[in-house]
Amino acid sequence: MRWFAIAVMFVLFVNLASDTQADPPKDWPQWRGPKGDGVSEEKGWNATFEESPKKLWDAKVGRGFSSPIIRDGFLYLFSTDNDTLQKESISCHDALTGKEQWKHTYEMKSVKRTGNPAGGTPAIVDGKVFSYGAGLNLVCVDAKTGKPIWANDLMADLPGQPVPYGYQLSPLPFENLIIVPAITNTDAKKSKPPFNEPRGGPYAPQGGVLLAFDQKTGKEIWRNSEGASAWSSPVLADLGGKKTVVHLTGRYLLGIDAKTGKTLWKSDLRDVGVVAEDMAASPVVVGDIVFTPIHKAYGNPSSGTACTAAFRVKDGEVKRLWKNDQWCHWFQSAAVWEKGIYGFDEKSTFWCIDLETGKEKWKSKEFGVSGKSGGGIMIADGKVIAIDARQQLTIAEVSLTKPKILSQARIFKAESGYECETAPLLFGGLLYCRNHTQLICFDLRPAKP
């Protein structure tokens, strides 16, 4: 009854606060939202403030790059412990107060961590929350209680291949399946868990697989062995009438039948003239066009080792439409609004690219801090909400002609810990922002008359 009452209160609260909205979002159930594109249909929220947005609450959380997800008035977050990096947790919070409802923690036993905390955003489907950790632990828990339903240790089961900085991937739900990539261990016969995670450096993945598991049981349903990324999360798209998993590996852009795991098409990214390696951002699909960053490890456009390209997928064939040699959104996934592509480059300059031609429309350093990658974005009602490496929040109207900055504020204190590399979440007029130590909720609901 308590759970039900809180959920009802949240729904009423959001409805009352959203009188000016047209069809406000019902939930934000996975990485980059219901459509996996980082774009919200929310309208009527307050995009302007003077010195700083009104803080509703803040909560201390573990380390991580995971964005929050929301369903039925509850917010879910994935984190790593602050000390050893060997423990990961899924936590549930009241979305209105930030109060923790439950927390499920487990220890990674098949890999010895050395690098970054977990970055994969969880997904929620039919009362179950799924997380995918830095050490290839795929975990399913009950959304109401946090009690474990099943767990697969893919580092041990495949066996998997540890990668520098750990896996930074978000699980992809589709019908009764949960889909994840993994790199397989090519030296399995010579070694066994626990595997030591490499420290830093470039990494060209080999032997990757894309796996689909039954959401209820964790049983493997299909496996595709064309390749995989350790950091670029797959997305779901409707291409040619087929539900397609679009995955960006270290070498290929892949299209895989979401139901069967069969390869529908693939494109060798080396054909664009860049030795593709450690992809991190997710591809974005608009209609039959897929656009994606392509880069060599630690590459940059000025040295000819990074770029962004767009491909048209039609009748199982992939044709490159354009290539932009000046812009590459390495870590931060971009978003599309109308006919523009928006996002940070590897030095935190904010760009607008024409979706149809790939040509630069404008760029701005007012959104970021020069020389540092980081932050994340989402778009709602023609406005970009961006957090840069300074932990600064920027809200701006965007168009193909120029941006109009509406509000800016430093939202985390310097002493609060680490640079922010997490995409913000706007839901019901409330803005959720996170760094490695804090989760903060800002109130952007319009003032009542």
What does the alpha-carbon distance between residue 146 and residue 129 come to, in Å, rounded to a whole number? 8
Give the model's confidence band at 369: pLDDT under 50 very low, under 70 low, under 90 confident, else very high: low
Quote the tokens at residue 180. 């994840």
Q: Answer whether residue 313 shows pLDDT above 90.
A: yes
% of the chain surpassing 70 pLDDT: 89
Kindly tell me the burial class for residue 63, based on how many C-beta atoms sit within 10 Å of its own C-beta (0-12, 13-18, 19 or more): buried
Model confidence at 36: pLDDT above 80:
yes
In the block, which residue shows the tokens 């080999």?
Answer: 206
**Section 246-256 average pLDDT:** 93
| Cβ neighbours for 385, distance < 8 A, ≥ 6 positions apart | 377, 378, 379, 393, 394, 395, 424, 426, 431
Average pLDDT, the chain: 88
- Give the best-scoring range by mean pLDDT among 43-57, 211-225, 297-311, 340-354: 211-225
The pLDDT of residue 167 is above 90: yes
Q: Where residue 14 falls among pLDDT bands split at 50, 70, 90?
A: very low
What is the pLDDT, as a whole number, of residue 317? 93
Q: What does the pLDDT average to over 47-64? A: 92
Residue 261 has pLDDT above 90, yes or no: yes
Distance CA 197, CA 111 (A): 7
Separation CA 351–CA 328 (nearest Å): 10
Question: Within a 13 Å sphere around the CA of 381, how many CA atoms are in the beta-carbon half?
Answer: 16
Which two tokens mark 213?
């598991």
* Residue 397 confidence (pLDDT): 95
Q: Cα(394)–Cα(373) distance, rounded to whole angstroms?
A: 16
Q: What's the confidence (pLDDT) of residue 407? A: 95
> pLDDT class for 447, splitting at 50, 70, 90?
confident
**Under CATH, what is the fold of the domain 28-64+332-420+422-449?**
Lipocalin (2.40.128)
Q: Which of 4-8, 129-133, 236-240, 341-345 has the lowest mean pLDDT?
A: 4-8
**Can you give the chain as a three-state secondary structure string?**
CHHHHHHHHHHHHHHHHCCCCCCCCCCECCCCCCCCCCEECCCCCCCCCCCCCEEEEEEECCECCCCCEEECCEEEEEEECCCCCCEEEEEEEECCCCCEEEEEEEECCCEECCCCCCCCCCEEECCEEEEECCCCEEEEEECCCCCEEEEEEHHHHCCECCCCCCCCCCCEEECCEEEEEEEECCCHHHCCCCEECCCCCCCCCCCEEEEEEECCCCCEEEEECCCCCCCCCCEEEEECCEEEEEEECCCEEEEEECCCCCEEEEEEHHHHCCCCCCCCCCCEEECCEEEEEEECCCCCHHHCCEEEEEEEEECCEEEEEEEECCCCCCCCCCEEECCEEEEECCCCCEEEEECCCCCEEEEECCCCCCCCCCCEEEEECCEEEEECCCCEEEEEECCCCCCEEEEEEECCCHHHCCCCCCCCEEECCEEEEECCCEEEEEECCCCCC
d(CA 358, CA 16): 42
Q: What tokens were used for 1?
A: 């009854």
pLDDT of residue 109 exceeding 70, the answer is: yes
Q: State pLDDT tens for residues 391-430.
A: 889 999 999 998 999 999 988 875 554 567 889 999 999 9
